[in-house]
């Protein structure tokens, strides 16, 4: 009978409670299959990996990250969705290549997995790139199905030397002309370069930096891509003005060797105190205030990308989207969706920011965390996120970007003129579109 004395009763109850809890957690973990995520090696990976650890510890669900270089991740994703059954349950797809996943029918609409699933209202839709209308073959959230949840914004911001602005009494520029004036005021080569921007040819480099110029001058790649009008307009007078402005920054206030400038070079110039401005993705801010990596810690400010008068700022989206392959078992789809649902919650997004990640929710950018001086980039992101613009929405984008990278890089390298480049690119893009079966055409050639 001693067994039922108060102390034993209490111990027995505690043991039963512990057993119940254990059983409950085991059964919760058992409900969801382990998931496998294919992702690329990026500066923001640590933040995402930290969040995955948090998810595992909070829920008991298992997540494996398959980390690859950029091209390797793309290749694995293509192979996975084209096979009988994908080995990955969640694909972290880049903003350039997502159209081929959408148009190819490789991703499961999230509401097909769980009809009650809803996108958190504070999550940015990044120019509607989360949704696809399979009937009209357009990317839009009005008629399209939700296919992905953004995982990283990767929006370009203008990084600038706050301390030099203060010393020289400069005002934050709104327009390209104002930026040029400021850059000229600070340009003193080789000690200080007025403006750094990517101009090298790569999978996507110069195109990404030219895009804000193009859109914020009223230019476009196609006449009305959103409504299926693929008439090529890259050789418009607006695009010409945009490229001339871009080249002017390279020639007048850029480094001596602009044609080979890549993202790593831009960061290097900034952290060694040799650049007054640089266009970089927001994620690069993590290196600016680290005294072990930067001699300008605390001196870098962030502003939205300028624009031509009369047009809004248009930072380019190079974001990453999480999508669930259509060719996996239902229990894995549910498990992947559970992760995305947890990921999009406001509290998760704030935790993501605290871990050094790049959140995709207004909840994080409007939180107290964003107001801390060391997180000052988040205030700029708050303004830039709703205005960020997508590149293209068709699978032929991977061919188009190759044309743009060569054509734009050749102008900066001084091989051809702005007009010849734009006319040449327009002709090549038109050919790609004709070959792919689109109804297309192009503007008459620009005159020299």
Partner 1 sequence: MANFSGRRSARYLSILPAFLFLVLLSALPLFNLLALSFAEVSWSGGESQWSWVGLNNYMALGSDALFKAGILNTIILVVVATTAQVTIGLMLALACSRVGHRSRIYRTLFLLPILIPGIIIGAIWRLMYNYQFGVVNQILELVGLGPVDWLGSSSLALMSVIIVDIWHWTPFSFLLLLAAVEALPKDVSEAAQIDGASKWKEFRRISLPLLWPAIFTTFVFRAIIAFKVFDEVYLLTGGGPGTATEVISFTIYQRFFIQDNPGYGSAMSVTVIFIIAAVIAVAMTRQRSRSQ
Residues forming the site for partner 1 (CB under 8 A): 71, 74-75, 78, 81-82, 100, 103-106, 190, 200-203, 255-261, 268, 326-327, 395, 398-399, 402, 405-406, 409-410, 412-416, 428, 435
- Residue 96, judged by CB atoms within 10 A of its CB (0-12, 13-18, 19+), counts as buried
Most distant CA pair in the chain, distance: 103
Shortest spacing between CB 48 and partner 1, in angstroms: 24
Residue ranges of E strands in 264-422: 277-281, 300-303, 320-323
Cβ distance to partner 1 smaller for residue 101 or 370: 101
The closest of 221, 154, 130 to 359, measured between CA atoms, is 154
Residue with smaller CB distance to partner 1, 181 or 202 = 202
User: How many C-beta atoms lie closer than 10 Å to residue 150's C-beta?
Assistant: 26
Rounded to whole angstroms, how far apart are CA atoms 96 and 239? 20
The smaller minimum CB distance to partner 1, of residues 269 and 365, is found at 269
Burial of 17 (0-12, 13-18, 19+ CB in 10 A): exposed
Q: Closest separation between CB of residue 9 and partner 1, Å?
A: 60
Measured from the CB of residue 441, what is the shortest distance to partner 1 in angstroms?
Answer: 19
Instruction: Specify the residue, 307 or 410, whose C-beta has the smaller distance to partner 1.
Output: 410
CB 384 within 8 A of CB 317: no
157 with 377: CB under 8 angstroms? yes
Q: Among residues 267 and 378, whose Cβ is nearest to partner 1?
A: 267
Least Å from the CB of residue 194 to partner 1: 16
User: Prior bond to 114 cis, omega within 30?
Assistant: no
Q: Given the complex with partner 1, which of 81 and 363 has the nearer CB atom?
A: 81
Q: How far, in Å, are 13, 65, 252, 367 from residue 23 at the CA level?
A: 15, 27, 68, 37
Signed CA dihedral, 127, 284, 349, 72: sign only: positive
Judged by beta carbon, residue 237 or residue 414, the one nearer partner 1 is 414
Residue 433, judged by CB atoms within 10 A of its CB (0-12, 13-18, 19+), counts as: buried
Distance CA 291, CA 298 (A): 9
CB of 187 to partner 1, least distance (A): 16
Q: Which is nearer to partner 1, 66 or 420 (CB)?
A: 420
The CB-of-413 to partner 1 minimum distance in angstroms stands at: 4
Q: How far is the CB of 101 from partner 1 (least distance, A)?
A: 9
Q: Give 173's contacts (C-beta < 8 A, 6+ positions apart).
A: 179, 181, 182, 303, 306
User: Closest distance between partner 1 and the C-beta of residue 203, in Å?
Assistant: 6
Q: How far apart are CA 271 and CA 273, in angstroms?
A: 5
Partners of 355 in beta bridges = none
What's the closest the beta carbon of residue 79 comes to partner 1, in angstroms?
Answer: 11
> Closer CB to partner 1, residue 313 or residue 409?
409
Least distance in angstroms from the C-beta of 399 to partner 1 = 5
CB of 278 or CB of 303, closer to partner 1? 278
d(CA 51, CA 91): 16
- CA-nearest of 130, 97, 86, 73 to 325 is 86
């Amino acid at each position: 009978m001693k067994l039922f004395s108060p102390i034993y009763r209490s111990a027995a109850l505690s043991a039963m409670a512990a057993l119940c809890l254990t059983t409950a957690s085991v059964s919760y973990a058992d409900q969801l299959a382990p998931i496998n995520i294919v992702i690329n090696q990026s500066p923001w990976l640590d933040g995402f990996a930290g969040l995955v650890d948090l998810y595992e510890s909070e829920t008991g669900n298992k997540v494996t990250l398959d980390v690859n270089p950029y091209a390797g991740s793309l290749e694995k994703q293509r192979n996975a969705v084209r096979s009988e059954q994908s080995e990955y349950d969640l694909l972290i797809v880049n903003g350039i290549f997502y159209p081929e996943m959408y148009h190819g029918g490789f991703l499961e609409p999230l509401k097909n997995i769980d009809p009650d699933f809803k996108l958190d209202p504070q999550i940015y839709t990044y120019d509607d790139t989360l949704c696809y209308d399979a009937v009209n073959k357009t990317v839009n959230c009005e008629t399209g199905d939700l296919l992905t949840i953004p995982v990283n914004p990767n929006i370009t911001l203008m990084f600038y030397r706050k301390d030099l602005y203060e010393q020289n009494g400069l005002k934050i520029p709104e327009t390209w002309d104002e930026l040029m004036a400021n850059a000229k005021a600070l340009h003193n080569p080789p000690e200080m370069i007025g403006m750094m921007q990517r101009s090298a040819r790569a999978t996507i480099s110069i195109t990404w930096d030219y895009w804000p110029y193009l859109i914020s001058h009223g230019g476009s790649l196609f006449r009305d891509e959103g409504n299926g009008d693929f008439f090529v307009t890259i050789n418009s007078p607006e695009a010409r003005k945009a490229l001339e402005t871009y080249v002017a920054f390279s020639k007048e206030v850029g480094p001596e060797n602009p044609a080979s400038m890549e993202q790593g070079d831009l960061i290097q110039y900034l952290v060694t105190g040799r650049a007054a401005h640089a266009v970089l993705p927001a994620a690069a801010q993590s290196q600016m205030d680290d005294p072990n990596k930067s001699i300008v810690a605390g001196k870098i400010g962030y502003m939205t990308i300028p624009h031509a008068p009369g047009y809004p700022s248009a930072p380019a989206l190079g974001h990453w989207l999480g999508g669930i392959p259509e060719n996996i078992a239902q229990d894995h789809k549910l498990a992947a969706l559970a992760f995305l649902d947890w990921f999009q919650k406001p509290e998760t997004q704030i935790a993501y920011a605290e871990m050094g990640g790049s959140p995709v929710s207004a909840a994080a950018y409007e939180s107290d965390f964003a107001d801390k001086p060391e997180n000052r980039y988040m205030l700029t992101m708050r303004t830039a996120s709703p205005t960020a613009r997508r590149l293209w929405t068709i699978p032929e984008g991977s061919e188009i970007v190759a044309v743009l990278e060569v054509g734009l890089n050749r102008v900066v390298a001084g091989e051809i003129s702005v007009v010849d480049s734009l006319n040449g690119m327009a002709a090549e893009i038109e050919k790609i579109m004709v070959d792919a079966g689109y109804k297309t055409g192009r503007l008459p050639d620009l005159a020299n």
